Structure 1
Amino acid sequence: MRSNLARLRGVEVQILTGRGDFPRAASVLATTKPPASCRIDFAIWQAAQASVEVSRSRFEDAMPILERLRSEAGIRGWNEVGTITHTSLVEGYLAWGEVDAARHVADEFCRLAEDIGSPKARMASGIGHARSFGDVDRAREVLLEAEEQGMHFIAAQAHHALGVVGRDVADHLEAAWALFKKMDATLWLKRVEAVGRSRGLVLDRRVDKSGAPGPLTDVERQLVTLVRDGLSNREIAEVLHYSSKTVEAYLTRLYKKTGYNSRVELIVAHERAVSLTGR
């Protein structure tokens, strides 16, 4: 019971950290500190505490703790500790500008995730690998899997990663911004906005505050044109240099956004010059 409660509190800490509510996250950690004799629970607690410090850009004390726990987790087979430490170390090293160190940890995290076998660990390691190596294909794979499984926070992180390392930067940053906004993930909103500013985008002004579907993005307009021209998903993928699964995901999102249900409806709407921002 105590271990289960500690893990639930750890999830609460992650949520509070994502929202940028560091004082409450610290308060939760302070009231749930397990005894050092409960070694794995204490290690999870230490890892969670250090991960909060990394999110606050307080690296000097947190990174050595995370490295020690990463090593201990590998020896003892503590997968949960390993997941937390690897995720936070990649984030910390990238923020520190230590790309080689981030890549080393990201590679190790991918191997650990395969051993763990859980989709969440695999996707988290995929995002770390994508950001460390500029691996666009890996980020797209994570995005597709997260969307298929309804894991919106991970999908938002994948959009953010693609906004950092991929093409169609505006599309992905806007998608990440909208998802993080719905989750009230203030910390991640600031990160996405910072990337947007570095690329000349002011994301909160590009989102329709009325809640109505926004205007089509460049990629979505390309999709409509290619669908109108009669190209199959495979042919569209070749033109846009995407995988067929990525094209399917974009089309599904386009149907939801416009309210249309098929390629035929999109084509008819295009031919009639109907606005695709809603019926």
Structure 2
Amino acid sequence: MSFEIKIWGCRGSIPVSSPDHLKFGGSTACIEININGNVVIIDAGSGIRELGTELLKRGTRTAHLLLSHGHYDHIMGLPFFYPVYKADMQLHLWSGHTNCNPCTHDIISDFMREPYLPVSLDIMQANMNFYDVKEGAEIDLGNGITAVSCATNHPGGCFAWRVTDGKQSFVYWSDHEHGNDEVDARLTQFATGADVLIYDAMYTDDEYPSKKKGFGHSTWRKGCEFAQKAGVKQLLLFHHAPERTDNQLEAIEAMAHKIFAGASAARDGQIIKLD
């Protein structure tokens, strides 16, 4: 049995590239979970482009894509995810964070059209299946793998996701603004006992109260607090602000590690293997 998590993009809001963004990377949100060769992807930020190239090299022809929400930094890479242009590729897309019906198909089709892109969804030759799911409903991804969602506190709605093979579990809890006690408690329970937790750590303690309230994001310190309460094994701080430099992230990582020993800052290309 193997359960492997790879970070293909951990930046928030917009991709960045500079000498100050080399260690942690500049691609936006994309996570690959590979369980015994079964591929589950969470979000389709700019990092999904490189993942697509890798999947073609591997010969992967089936994958599930779980969308947290439809903000551009979480879907912008899908038109550049090369497997969707292959007729022998099967991609299952899941979401349900809004009340639209259908939801998942509309998120992608409304994005892939003029004047935003020169091509439409029709150009994708892959067998694409769109599923709208209700919060809390367990979905069967096959081969003993399941996923369940929990709503976060984020403008327009957003899902956290928990993926498990019945033994190991991974929780993706990004794009969340702390402060609503009921929602925070529900999500903490949702993450309880996870082997790995990814958490929205876009802001520092100084930035959040003075400038960032209402933007739908959280802080690295809150991530440590929630990780402790949930009893998770590893915490990956995620959704780094585009202006956050490598030196600043290293400093945040060091402070977080003092509060929660299992804390680290997510990096593009990082691999976590669960035994």
Larger relative CO (CA 8 A, sep 6+): 1 or 2? 2
Give the structure with higher Rg (CA).
1
Name the structure with the higher strand share.
2
